[in-house]
Amino acid sequence: MTIDTAIDGTQATMAIEGWLDTQTAPQLAKALDGLGEGVTSLTLDLKDLEYVSSAGIRQIVAAHKRMGGHMVLTNVREEVLEVLRLTGVAPRLNIS
Amino acid sequence: MFRSVTSRIVAAFLATLVIVVALVSFATFSYVRGIEHDQTDKDGLMAARQCAILMGIIDDPNVDLSDPDQYEYYHQALRNMCIDEEMGYLYAYRVDRAAGTCTYLLVAAADEEEDKEFVRSCPYGAVSHRELTDAEVRALVGEVTQEAHEYDNAYGNTLDWVAPVDAFDDDVLAASSYPVNLQRERVSHTVLSIIVPFVLVTLLLLAVELAVLRRYVFRPVRAIADEMRRFKPDKARDIRIPEMPQNDEMRDIVDAYAGMAGDISEYLDSIEALTQERLQVSVELDVARRIQLGIVPGHFELERPCLEVAALSRPAREVGGDFYAVVRLDGDRVAVAVGDASGKGMAVALFMVMVKTLIKEGLAAGDSPATVLNEVNDHICESNPEGMFVTVFACVIDPATGTVTFANAGHTTPLVVGDDARPLKQEIGTLLGLFDDIDLVDETVTLAPGETLLVFTDGVTEAVDKNKAFLGDAAFAERLSARAPFASAQSVVDATTQIVDAHAAGHEQFDDLTALALTHTPPTPAEKSLPVAGAHEVPADITSMDAVKEAIFATSADGPLKRRTTLAVEEAFANVVSYSGAKHAWYAVEEMPSGLSVTLVDDGDPFDLTTAEAPDPEFEDLEFGGMGMRLVRDLASDVSYRYEDGLNVLTIEVFD
């Protein structure tokens, strides 16, 4: 899994590519920690995210809470969306 | 002050001298004074009478004392008399009792100066007024008083004697006078002339006595004391006896001392020799004990599939005859023997070594316990002049079944320890070494998984407390039961020593203690035949998920199915590695006609994912987890679980 982070003032964009599973979820946690205090809104570009497990979803929920809801998931693939739905988090996230 | 005997004796001598001299001086003085006074009185009265006789001659009409020439003539005669009689003064006078006066007629003194003064102050006819003395009153009536009258006058203290002058009328008296101090001088002179030689002689005698004491007592005593101080046991042989040629008590002391010193040295030598000897014996025993410990290790542990062996041997202070042996046989079987040879010391240790070696060889050759023990018995009985014997329990265990084949040659009954401890049911055979026809036979017992056969020597049951009371078979089994069940063979051995130590409570034990535990353990997961064909073992951690994922993706199922299967399996596997405490894990992936079936096996705590209540956290808490179990159930078409032989077996099926 690779994470490409771009910061523009208070706005950050993270492009996540590959598998976000139990083993790789800690990488996302680290990347989120690295954003700094100045970032107040976040866009997760999930165009190339092929797989997510509950461990990955935990990190996405954590980021959502940290941004106070100012987080958007874009380009979510169907298979990822299915998991978000199954876990019941899809309605609470901003998915565009 | 008087620290030495010498100074005490010298002080006593001096004190005696002072007291004796004082007493002798006093006695001498009293005696001399009495004699001297008597003599003076005699002399004084004699002089007074001589004076009276002279005055009788003068009583002549032709003599006129008022004539200076005649006075001088008779004065000279009187003075000569005074000198001859060794008197101080001689004089004559007339007494007028009615008028109370004395009128001097003629006076003289021995000393020239005094004589002149006497004549000048009391010339012929000089009158003096005074009371008459008793002696004078008596003299006037013709009686004489021998005792001197002492009185104080112009010439100092004098002793006076009075004699009547017959020729004149009754009122003329003649007197002699003698100075008191002269008399005293004479007394003291006489006393001194006696005392001084006496003191000198006494001093001389004391000095001689001290010298004798010094020569024969003080110096020898000091020399002996010095010699005793110098005494050193190792140099006792060269004892230098102070030179004391005389044949007295000191000599006896020296001889006695020399004899004693010699004895002490001799004793010390023999003590040294004894110590040396004991040291050597103790070194030998130490070596023997080390050999024994080398042959019978104090501690032993063996783990085989489905089998644990733990042994402990604790020799008493000296070398004993306890031993144990463990032999690995073919096909995981293990043979053990525990024995106790009679007696203590080097001989029994050697005997024990021989017996142990024979038994070990026999068991290693694959013979049954009874066969081995019978053969060993024959061997010992061939030549056993010392009549030594040994009790042995030998057995072979097959861990696959837990079957123990054993033979007991007179050994303490072993215990079977499971949920409690009970004696092994057996026929006790005859001990080895005394009879050549013991004919031991093999018996069997089967240990259930987790059961332990505890073989021990009588050092356990005959452990003594401070009242010399044995622990006893029944009490030992009872106390061991109270601690059952046990987790391992080692814990049974540990419990045994703890029970013995608690009973002994620090009281020194005189018998060896040996305990060997043989536990038929349940099979470990690795040894089990897995209930799933074709399962692969992987480490029980999350990285193993890669291998599982690879296996899933290697199937011919389509992409979404493989992803869903992977997700379900990942959630289940993450749960296993995070919470179950599993050490081993296995997986098997199987293609089904309509989907995939993945089986996960682990040896962790039992956990049934199919029936466990799935958590349903709020969205805000989802970052802490709680979604995995639901995901598995939602994604899988079928999930089945069973717990078998200590293993969790979870099968997840995902269909199109």
Report the CATH number that the domain containing residue B597 is assigned in CATH. 3.30.565.10
Q: Are residues B486 and B557 in the same domain?
A: no
Residues of A within 8 A of B635 (CB-CB) are 86
**Does A57 contact chain B (CB < 8 Å)?**
yes
Average pLDDT over residues B379-392: 88
Whether residue B526 has pLDDT greater than 60: no
Of the residues B522, B551, B578, which one is the last residue of a structural domain?
B522
Query: In the numeric block, which tokens belong to residue B588?
Result: 């098997």
Q: pLDDT tens digits for B80-128?
A: 998 988 888 898 888 888 888 888 889 999 888 888 988 888 888 888 8
Give the dihedral sign, CA B74/B76/B80/B86: positive
Q: Tell me which residues of chain B have a C-beta less than 8 Å from any C-beta of chain A.
A: 542-543, 545-546, 560, 563, 566-567, 570-571, 574, 619-620, 622-625, 627-628, 630-631, 634-635
Write the ipTM.
Answer: 0.91
Which tokens in the block code for residue A41? Answer: 């809104």
Q: What is the pLDDT of residues B455-505, one digit of tens each?
A: 999 888 888 888 888 888 899 999 999 988 888 899 999 999 999 988 888
- Separation in Å, CA of A60 to nearest CA in chain B: 8
Residue B358 has what pLDDT? 93
DSSP bridge pairs for B602: B585, B648
Taking an 8 Å cut-off on Cβ atoms, the answer to whether B560 and A62 are in contact is: no
Cross-chain CB nearest to B543 (options A23, A50, A57): A23
pLDDT at residue B326, as a whole number = 92
Q: Do the domain assignments include residue B151?
A: yes
Nearest-Cα distance to chain B for A6, in Å, is 24
- What is the pLDDT at residue B317? 66
Residue B16 lies in a domain: no
The pLDDT value recorded for residue B540 is: 87
Domain finish residue from B522, B543, B561 = B522
pLDDT-based confidence at B129, cuts 50/70/90?
confident
Helix, strand, or coil (residue B153): strand
Q: Are residues B409 and B546 in the same domain?
A: no
| Confidence at residue B240, expressed as pLDDT on a 0 to 100 scale | 61
Among chain A residues, CA nearest to B578: A22
- Alpha-carbon torsion B54, B56, B60, B66, what sign? positive
Q: Is B409 exposed, middle or buried (CB count within 10 Å of its CB: 0-12, 13-18, 19+)?
A: buried
Do residues B499 and B557 both lie within one domain?
no
Question: Mean pLDDT per segment of 10 residues, for chain A of length 96 residues?
Answer: 91 93 91 88 93 92 90 93 90 89
Nearest by CB to residue A54, choosing from B543, B560, B571, is B571
pLDDT digits (tens, 9 = 90+) for B44-57: 888 888 888 888 88
* CATH number, residue B379: 3.60.40.10
pLDDT tens digits for B194-203? 888 988 998 8
B266 occurs within a structural domain: no
d(CA B418, CA B518): 12
Residue B626 has a pLDDT of 79
Do B123 and B159 reside in the same domain of the chain? yes
Position B316 scores a pLDDT of: 76
- The answer to whether residue B405 sits within a structural domain is yes
Domain-located, residue B598: yes
Instruction: Calculate what percentage of chain A has a pLDDT beyond 70.
Output: 100
Q: What is the mean pLDDT of chain B?
A: 85
Q: Residue B583's pLDDT band (boundaries 50, 70, 90)?
A: confident
Q: pLDDT category, B243, cuts 50, 70, 90?
A: low
Of the three residues B522, B538, B569, the one that is the final residue of a domain is: B522
Model pLDDT, residue B36? 86
CA distance B633 to chain A (A): 10
Q: Would you state the pLDDT for residue B531? A: 65
Q: Which of B383, B324, B391 minimizes the C-alpha distance to B353?
A: B324
Same domain, B404 and B470: yes
Contacts of A53 in chain B (CB under 8 A): 567, 570-571, 574, 631
Same domain, B499 and B642: no
Name all domains of chain A by residue range, CATH numbers in brackets.
Answer: 2-95 (3.30.750.24)
pLDDT (mean) for B381-405: 90
For residue B527, pLDDT over 60 is answered with no
Q: Do residue B320 and residue B450 come from a single domain?
A: yes
Helix (H) or strand (E) holding A57: helix A54-66
Q: How far apart are CA B88 and CA B104, in angstroms?
A: 17
Looking at per-residue pLDDT, the higher value among B645 and A33 belongs to A33
B284-330 residue pLDDT tens? 777 777 777 777 777 888 877 788 899 998 877 666 788 999 999 88
Disruptive mutation site among B546, B562, B567, B633 for chain A (greatest number of A CBs within 10 Å): B567
Residue B630: closest C-alpha in chain A: A87
- Model pLDDT, residue B335: 94
Q: Is B218 among the domain residues?
A: no
CB atoms within 10 A of CB B212: 10
Task: Answer whether A59 touches B (CB < 8 Å).
Answer: yes
Q: At what angle do helices B473-483 and B489-504 cross, to 10 degrees?
A: 130
Which chain A positions have a beta carbon within 8 Å of B617's beta carbon?
A: none
**A6 close to B (CB below 8 A):** no
Whether A29 and chain B come into contact, CB under 8 Å, resolves to: no
Contact B630 A55 (CB under 8 A): no
The answer to whether position B146 is within a domain reads yes
Report the pLDDT averaged over residues B407-421.
92
> Which region among B249-263, B371-385, B629-643 has the lowest average model confidence (pLDDT)?
B249-263
Set of chain A residues whose Cβ sits within 8 Å of the Cβ of B563: 50-51, 79
For testing contact with chain B, the best of A24, A52, A54 (most B CBs within 10 A): A54
Percent of chain B beyond pLDDT 90? 26
A61: nearest CA partner in chain B: B623
- For residue A89, the chain B residues in CB contact (below 8 A) are 619, 622
The total number of residues shown for chain A amounts to 96
Q: What pLDDT is attached to residue B350?
A: 83
Helix runs in B439-580, H state only: 458-461, 473-483, 489-504, 545-553, 559-579
Q: Are B566 and A51 an interchain contact pair (Cβ–Cβ within 8 Å)?
A: yes
Taking phi first (over 0 means left), then psi (-120 to 50 degrees means alpha), and beta for anything else, what does residue B450 get? Answer: left
Q: How far is A8 from chain B (nearest CA, A)?
A: 26
Query: Are B148 and B44 a contacting pair, CB within 8 Å?
Result: yes
Residue B46 lies in a domain: yes
* CATH label of the domain that carries residue B82: 3.30.450.20
The whole-model pTM stands at 0.43
- Both B132 and B171 in one domain: the answer is yes
- Give the count of domains, chain B: 3
Q: How many CB pairs under 8 A join A and B?
A: 58
Residues B489 and B541 in one domain: no
Tell me, yes or no, whether B458 and B549 share the same domain: no
Q: Is there a contact between A65 and B620 if contact means CB atoms under 8 Å apart?
A: yes
Pairwise CA distance, residues B346 & B352, whole Å: 10
Q: Are B311 and B493 in contact (CB under 8 A)?
A: yes
Chain A environment of B627 (Cβ under 8 Å): 54, 57-58, 87-88
Residue-number span of the structural domain to which B165 is assigned: 40-187
Q: Is A18 on the interface with B (CB under 8 A)?
A: no
Specify whether B174 is located in the same domain as B112: yes
B335 and B462 belong to one structural domain:
yes
Does A86 contact B623 at a Cβ distance shorter than 8 Å? no
pLDDT in tens, B61-72: 788 888 888 889
Report yes or no: A87 at the B interface, CB cutoff 8 Å.
Answer: yes
